[in-house]
């Protein structure tokens, strides 16, 4: 197939970058009756996509919403000229330097008022820089989080756009149409995720909303990923505990996770975990989970979230522990040699109530998960203040209820909590979560204690519990810490009986140790 040139300006939007995410998003847009220009650096990819999806596969009879269809473009100039004005060019390529190159080549051909949307997992600093550079040229820039992996992109992702607010009305009809939908009454995803199926439910709410100016959209997507890391690690720890302590098989554990999916843990990640644990390796007939090498990869968004939390001094220890857990997993050879040298505890056979322990782990997982969200929302709250983003947390939780990787029943509860009180100081302080954690904390503590006694590593469970206990401590040993700082470095301290901001120093080397006001 050859691609014609030049193009008439007929496409409603365009997608640059036709790897899996780009192709799927373009097809999703076309499914909804939009005409989509598509361009890839390697033209054969564009040609193959067009050959696989001829014009007749879109429009009435497909999703019944309009003509839809793809317009293949060989060059960036053709791509830009194929777009109706104001032009909407959506970039879906691996985040990094290549994004700058694509933006530059688009900008060369685009005109003031046109819109560039970056749907990659860009670092929010890059997004701010790009927004500034493009606005100087009169171009509008939106950095949009796109979550949900391949299937999400194809049939309904969660979309987190941020940037130029005046560009939003141009993108909004497309983003609203293609985003995942949830039932407004229950917060549950509406399963419309298949070609030919439309979501006509009048209660359908799209999983997208304008997040805020500048890089707010990509920041929120980054925090989404940080929570995703924590959630995945917590599930892995639950699996490990049940497997090690109770010696349950992967098949048995698959049933446990299936059952959990019918409780308040109901989520995409629990669902896929049940499925994975039930999978058998076709080559060896062993449980699939046992033939996968225990080294976890990462592309960096969890690390960025942790770095952001350290930079701002906002605690997100469970997210950071999840990143470190991946890091220590990657030292496979070191762990194997250490395992031959370092002893663990004499782990006695578990003599407690097995069913109770399974339930305890479930409750520990739920509490820890709430803590991971509390940390993520705490981080966003601080970033919102620092950057004047005015983030709406109810709305953010709302658009995470469907489409994205962390979609979960819990997100509906979080939505309600922030709808009730937009300025919640910490998610754990929402009345519903105060009660939920209070009811489950004994189980949570038993699980963390058992993991320590049995030598099963649970960095995320344990750090979440420590976060909860620190948060509810009106007084922490930081008083001693501050005294230590004053002792060796004259770093001064505040007194409990003096106004905040007044600093004192004890002259430690002096015999009388007089106190001086700093």
Whole-angstrom Cα distance, residue 238 to residue 443?
13
The values of phi and psi at residue 142, to 5°, are -125, 125
Contact assessment for residue 146 and residue 153, using Cβ atoms and an 8 Å cutoff: yes
Which structure tokens are listed for 459?
């960095």
396 belongs to the binding site for ligand 6PG (CB under 6 A): no
In terms of CB distance, is 99 or 147 closer to ligand 6PG? 147
Whole-angstrom Cα distance, residue 24 to residue 156?
10
Measured in whole angstroms, how far is the alpha carbon of residue 339 from the centre of its chain?
33
Nearest-approach distance from CB 406 to ligand 6PG, in angstroms: 8
> Which 3 state secondary structure label does DSSP give 206?
strand
81 belongs to the binding site for ligand 6PG (CB under 6 A): no
149 belongs to the binding site for ligand 6PG (CB under 6 A): yes
Contact assessment for residue 116 and residue 164, using Cβ atoms and an 8 Å cutoff: no
Alpha helices (H) in 246-316, listed in sequence order: 250-260, 268-277, 288-291, 301-312
211 belongs to the binding site for ligand 6PG (CB under 6 A): no
Beta strands in 19-103 (DSSP E): 36-39, 70-73, 88-91
147 belongs to the binding site for ligand 6PG (CB under 6 A): yes
Beta strands in 119-217 (DSSP E): 140-147, 158-163, 181-183, 204-206
Residue in the block written with tokens 């359908």:
204
Nearest-approach distance from CB 232 to ligand 6PG, in angstroms: 8
DSSP string, 299-364: -SHHHHHHHHHHHHT---HHHHHHHHHHHHHH-HHHHHHHHTT------PPP-S-HHHHHHHHHHH
Whole-angstrom Cα distance, residue 405 to residue 318?
18
State which of residues 405, 436, 440, 465 lies at the interface with ligand 6PG (CB under 6 A).
Answer: 405
CA angle 420, 424, 425 (to 5 degrees): 170
Nearest-approach distance from CB 224 to ligand 6PG, in angstroms: 6
Interacting span for ligand 6PG (CB under 6 A) from 135-143, 147-155, 379-387, 451-459: 147-155
Nearest-approach distance from CB 180 to ligand 6PG, in angstroms: 12
In terms of CB distance, is 440 or 460 closer to ligand 6PG? 460
In terms of CB distance, is 130 or 303 closer to ligand 6PG? 303
Interacting span for ligand 6PG (CB under 6 A) from 293-301, 359-367, 384-392, 407-415: 293-301
Nearest-approach distance from CB 400 to ligand 6PG, in angstroms: 10
> ω into residue 6 within 30 of 0, thus cis?
yes
Nearest-approach distance from CB 313 to ligand 6PG, in angstroms: 24
Nearest-approach distance from CB 50 to ligand 6PG, in angstroms: 26
301 belongs to the binding site for ligand 6PG (CB under 6 A): yes
Nearest-approach distance from CB 132 to ligand 6PG, in angstroms: 25
Contact assessment for residue 223 and residue 311, using Cβ atoms and an 8 Å cutoff: no
Q: Partners of 515 in the beta sheet?
A: 506
> Residue count at the site for ligand 6PG (CB under 6 A)?
13
Cβ count near 505 (within 10 Å): 16
State which of residues 59, 66, 68, 148 lies at the interface with ligand 6PG (CB under 6 A).
Answer: 148
Interacting span for ligand 6PG (CB under 6 A) from 29-37, 274-282, 295-303, 483-491: 295-303
299 belongs to the binding site for ligand 6PG (CB under 6 A): yes
Determine the length of the chain.
518
404 belongs to the binding site for ligand 6PG (CB under 6 A): yes
Residue in the block written with tokens 């005015």:
390
Q: Partners of 147 in the beta sheet?
A: 158
Nearest-approach distance from CB 374 to ligand 6PG, in angstroms: 20
In terms of CB distance, is 225 or 458 closer to ligand 6PG? 225
Measured in whole angstroms, how far is the alpha carbon of residue 156 from the centre of its chain?
16
In terms of CB distance, is 71 or 404 closer to ligand 6PG? 404
176 belongs to the binding site for ligand 6PG (CB under 6 A): no
Query: Which residue has its beta carbon closest to ligand 6PG?
Result: 147
Catalytic residues: 221, 228
319 belongs to the binding site for ligand 6PG (CB under 6 A): no
Whole-angstrom Cα distance, residue 9 to residue 25?
21
Contact assessment for residue 502 and residue 517, using Cβ atoms and an 8 Å cutoff: yes
Contact assessment for residue 121 and residue 221, using Cβ atoms and an 8 Å cutoff: yes
State which of residues 81, 121, 144, 318 lies at the interface with ligand 6PG (CB under 6 A).
Answer: 121
| Contact letters for ligand 6PG, residues 220-249 (x by CB under 6 A) | -----x--x---------------------
In terms of CB distance, is 18 or 361 closer to ligand 6PG? 18
298 belongs to the binding site for ligand 6PG (CB under 6 A): yes
In terms of CB distance, is 331 or 508 closer to ligand 6PG? 331
In terms of CB distance, is 81 or 273 closer to ligand 6PG? 273
Contact residues toward ligand 6PG (CB under 6 A) are 121, 147-149, 225, 228, 297-299, 301-302, 404-405
């Amino acid at each position: 197939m050859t691609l014609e040139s030049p193009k008439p300006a007929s496409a409603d939007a365009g997608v640059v970058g036709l790897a899996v995410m780009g192709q799927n998003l373009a097809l999703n847009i076309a499914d909804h009756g939009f005409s989509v220009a598509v361009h890839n650096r390697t033209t054969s990819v564009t040609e193959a996509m067009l050959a696989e999806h001829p014009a007749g596969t879109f429009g009435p009879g497909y999703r019944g919403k309009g003509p839809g269809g793809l317009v293949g473009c060989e060059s960036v100039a053709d791509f830009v000229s194929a777009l109706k004005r104001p032009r909407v060019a959506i970039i879906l390529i691996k985040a990094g330097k290549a994004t700058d190159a694509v933006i530059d080549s688009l900008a060369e051909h685009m005109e003031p008022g046109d819109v560039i949307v970056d749907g990659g997992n860009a670092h929010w600093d890059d997004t701010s820089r790009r927004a500034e550079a493009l606005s100087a040229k009169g171009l509008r820039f939106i950095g949009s989080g796109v979550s949900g992996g391949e299937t999400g992109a194809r049939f309904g992702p969660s979309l987190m756009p941020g940037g130029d607010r005046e560009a939003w009305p141009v993108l909004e009809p497309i983003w609203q149409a293609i985003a995942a939908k949830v039932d407004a009454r229950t917060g549950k995803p509406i399963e419309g995720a298949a070609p030919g199926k439309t979501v006509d439910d009048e209660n359908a709410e799209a999983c997208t909303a304008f997040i805020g100016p500048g890089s707010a959209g990509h920041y929120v997507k980054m925090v989404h990923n940080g929570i995703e890391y924590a959630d995945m690690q917590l599930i892995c720890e639950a699996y490990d505990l049940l497997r090690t302590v109770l010696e349950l098989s992967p098949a048995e554990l698959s049933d446990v996770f299936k059952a959990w999916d019918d409780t308040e843990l109901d989520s995409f990640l629990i669902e896929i975990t049940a499925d994975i644990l039930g999978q058998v390796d076709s080559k060896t007939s062993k449980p699939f989970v046992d033939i996968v090498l225990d080294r976890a990869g990462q592309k960096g968004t969890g690390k960025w979230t942790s770095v952001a939390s350290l930079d701002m001094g906002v605690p997100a220890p469970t997210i950071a522990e999840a990143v470190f857990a991946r890091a220590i997993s990657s030292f496979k050879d070191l762990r194997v040699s250490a395992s031959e040298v370092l002893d663990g505890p004499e782990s006695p056979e578990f003599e407690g109530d097995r069913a109770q322990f399974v339930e305890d782990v479930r409750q520990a997982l739920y509490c820890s998960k709430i803590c991971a969200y509390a940390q993520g929302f705490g981080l966003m709250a601080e970033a919102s203040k620092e950057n004047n983003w005015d983030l709406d947390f109810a709305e953010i939780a709302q658009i995470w209820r469907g489409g994205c990787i962390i979609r979960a029943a819990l997100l509906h509860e979080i939505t309600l909590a922030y709808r009730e009180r937009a300025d919640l100081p910490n998610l754990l302080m929402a009345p519903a979560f105060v009660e939920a954690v209070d009811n489950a904390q004994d189980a949570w503590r038993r699980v963390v204690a058992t993991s320590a006694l049995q030598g099963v590593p649970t960095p995320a469970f344990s750090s979440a519990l420590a976060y909860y206990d620190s948060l509810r401590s009106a007084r922490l040993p930081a008083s001693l810490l501050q005294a230590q700082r004053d002792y060796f470095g004259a770093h001064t301290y505040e007194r409990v009986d003096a106004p905040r901001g007044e600093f004192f120093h004890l002259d430690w080397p002096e015999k009388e140790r007089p106190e001086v006001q700093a």
